[in-house]
Amino acid sequence: MVVAAIKKVKVSKVLILGANGMLGHALQKVFPDATFLGHADLDITDEKSVKDLINLWHPSVVINAAAYTDVDGCEDNRDHAFAVNGYGPGYLAAACTQAGAVLVHYSTDYIFDGTRPGYQEDDPPNPINAYGESKLMGEVSVMKNMENYRIIRTSWLFGAHGKNFVDTILSLSRQMETVRVVNDQVGKPTYTVDLARATPGIISRAPGIYHITNDGQCSWYEFAKAFIPNAIPCMTAEFPRRAKRPAYSVLVNTKTPPLRHWREAVFEYIQSKEGT
Ligand SMILES: NC(=O)c1ccc[n+]([C@@H]2O[C@H](COP(=O)([O-])OP(=O)(O)OC[C@H]3O[C@@H](n4cnc5c(N)ncnc54)[C@H](OP(=O)(O)O)[C@@H]3O)[C@@H](O)[C@H]2O)c1
């Protein structure tokens, strides 16, 4: 598997993992000269393959967009969630330390419990679901294994090439007279394109944890209402799910200039879909 991956390598020292995911696709556009590896090229839970690949290739920057992101699925597949989201990033960090590479690793607002009026980068995490626990373990594994990391926490991603809220709601809006959307969970929607574009700037900053989202906050209902006419509000309790969600998982960015407002970003995303 490693040999197959190496054969794909081009002349570049940036390695992007999870390149076929939603964020991975946006990163490909921002780093056109990077080497892109999907799940089939490198399984980040395979410690030896991770080590061999990074030792052989010797990248200067590794960007990890690989993760198990099915929040409800993580409840039923805890071992898999911890393998991919918890241990995998640690293997990457150890290999990057050996190679002298910077590791950019993405994490989530779901490491917080959602009981406070916003979370700064150094606020104490307290996940309330298996996905959040596994992602928190990933952060800790990275920090334990290296110094030169950039952990980018983000939230409520939407963009091309992935299952996301905007696509789901647009499709429901066309099929149904009204679409009920929860109004008691608040967060910060983030366009993958904007997050990917912000990533080079984070690489050039000091090691540490960064909160990168589009500007502005809203409930899922307010988010939907911005782009469909037939959304109506409801409560989380009316839609029982396998995993609990934090009620107020607003990431506060104290370190970098804000990105544009999520409203502008979602309109651009929808326009880009209409153009395809
Ligand atoms: N989506 C959100 O709303 C959101 C919110 C906050 C933070 N984040 C974080 O942002 C990052 C990117 O998320 P995303 O939405 O782009 O995720 P995504 O679309 O689900 O993409 C993740 C990619 O990782 C790959 N992958 C899964 N297991 C792997 C493994 N063991 N080894 C290598 N690759 C593996 C997947 O491949 P397969 O599909 O083939 O398994 C997929 O291509 C993740 O760290 C996520 O936790 C996402």
Write the pLDDT tens digit of every residue in 142-167.
Answer: 999 999 999 999 999 999 999 999 99
Rounded to the nearest angstrom, the distance between the alpha carbon of 65 and the centre of ligand 1 is 6
In the chain, at which residue ranges do the beta strands (DSSP E only) sit? 14-17, 35-37, 61-64, 102-108, 149-154, 157-158, 179-182, 186-187, 190-191, 208-211, 218-219, 231-234
- Cβ neighbors of 66 (< 8 A, separation 6 or more) are 17, 18, 21, 24, 39, 44, 84, 88
Strands 218-219 and 186-187: antiparallel
Is the sign of the CA dihedral 36, 101, 130, 214 positive or negative? Answer: negative
Choice from 157, 209, 211 to test ligand 1 binding pocket (greatest atom count within 8 A of CB): 157
Which residue's CA lies nearest to atom 8 of ligand 1? 108
129 close to ligand 1 (CB < 6 Angstrom):
no
64 close to ligand 1 (CB < 6 Angstrom):
no
In the predicted model, is pLDDT for residue 5 greater than 50?
Answer: no
Name the DSSP letter for residue 83: I
In the predicted model, is pLDDT for residue 239 greater than 90?
Answer: no
Which residue's CA lies nearest to atom 38 of ligand 1? 39
Instruction: Tell me what pLDDT residue 4 has.
Output: 46
As to burial, measured by CB atoms within 10 angstroms (0-12 exposed, 13-18 middle, 19+ buried), residue 97 is middle
Helix (H) or strand (E) holding 14: strand 14-17
- Confidence tier at 123 by pLDDT (50, 70, 90): very high
CA distances from 227 to 96, 155, 203, 219, 270 (A): 42, 19, 33, 13, 8
What are the structure tokens assigned to 210, written together? 């960064």
pTM for the structure as a whole:
0.95
What are the structure tokens assigned to 232, written together? 């109506």
Instruction: Tell me what pLDDT residue 47 has.
Output: 98
Q: At what angle do helices 130-145 and 88-99 cross, to 10 degrees?
A: 20
Is the sign of the CA dihedral 106, 111, 117, 123 positive or negative? Answer: negative
Of 8-12, 28-32, 124-128, 135-139, give the lowest mean pLDDT range.
8-12
d(CA 26, CA 268): 14
Query: What end-to-end distance do the CA atoms of the chain give, in Å?
Result: 34
15 close to ligand 1 (CB < 6 Angstrom):
no
Active site residues: 131
Other C-beta atoms lying within 10 Å of the C-beta of residue 76: 12
Helix, strand, or coil (residue 22): helix
Strands 190-191 and 35-37: unpaired
- Confidence tier at 10 by pLDDT (50, 70, 90): very low
